[in-house]
Amino acid sequence: MTSIRLLLAGVAIATLPALVHALPREPAAMPETPAMQSVAHLGDFPVVELRRYTVAPGQRTRFATWFDAYFPEAFEQLGAMVFGQFLERDDPGHFLWLRGYHDINARPIVNSAFYYGPLWKEHRTKVNAILPDSDNVLLLQPLPGQSIPVLPAVDPVDEPQGADGIVIAQLLPVVAGRETEIAADFVRYRVDGVRPAGVLATLDVPNNFPQLPVREDGPWLVWLGIARDEEALRRLQAEMAAVGRELADGGGLRGTPETIVMDPSRRSRLRWLDSRPQ
């Protein structure tokens, strides 16, 4: 057993026990196209927040519309990335989104600029009025070779219907030190019609922007993927159920895994894209 120590901005931020050869790099979430080349300059975002909000009853569509309209490009201009934003199918009051930073030191800089800046000041009153809980947040980092891809923004001309596909997140409360061992089982999720979109583990560092709380009940392991359609989703869910049972029997989990099935918002970058040139 070896260890991989991740260095961000010259600061060691976490150590994960790593079985490097057990974690081959996942296939890309989107085949290489001119559209993918257009986002290559944005770089990597190896510090990730999985933000799971509770929205007031009947207000999720309104919140999602505001989010799409106001926020993704604002964070991009500040050097962060909104990977995608999603509507949970099993709970009409939940909205989940993924925000990435170039390193841990960028997190307080970006958030200070945004939350004390003019855009948030303009919209915060009406947004907060329908957002009773925004504190369910996991601070994460990708396992080696398992980063969330930055997909091209939804094109309002070529994609007038908005983002396609079904996004899936599996949250596993893992026993500390077994993250990469358990992640090796995710190879079984490579079913037809499903593209992997990242494997993340708890980033166990102090919260350097305490105005935004993060959970401290880790470690967590998160698998992300995109299904083409309902049939592909059913195949994936069958594999997930089998893997979950085996992991529970093997003692690698601290609790029951949760699988979150989501529809991307109209402007979510993380979505199903075909391989036609764009």
Q: Is residue 149 part of a domain?
A: yes
First-to-last alpha carbon distance for the chain, in angstroms, is 44
Give 141's strand partners. Answer: 201
Q: Name the nearest CA neighbour of 266 among 20, 72, 102, 43.
A: 72
Asked if 52 contacts 94 with a C-beta cutoff of 8 angstroms, the reply is yes
Q: Is residue 144 part of a domain?
A: yes
pLDDT above 90: residue 82: yes
| Residue 95 phi, psi (nearest 5) | -130, 125
CATH of the domain at 245: 3.30.70.100
Calculate mean pLDDT across residues 114-141.
98
pLDDT above 80: residue 35: no
40-77 residue pLDDT tens: 989 899 999 999 999 999 999 999 999 999 999 999 99
| Domain, as residue range, for 229 | 45-153+161-264
Q: Is residue 135 part of a domain?
A: yes
Asked if 63 contacts 95 with a C-beta cutoff of 8 angstroms, the reply is yes
Asked if 148 contacts 270 with a C-beta cutoff of 8 angstroms, the reply is yes
163: number of CA atoms within 13 Å, CB side?
Answer: 26
How many domains, in total, are found in the chain?
1
CA-CA-CA-CA torsion sign (7, 72, 153, 61): positive
Q: How far apart are CA 91 and CA 192, in angstroms?
A: 27
pLDDT above 70: residue 265: yes
Query: How confident is residue 5, by pLDDT bands cut at 50, 70 and 90?
Result: very low
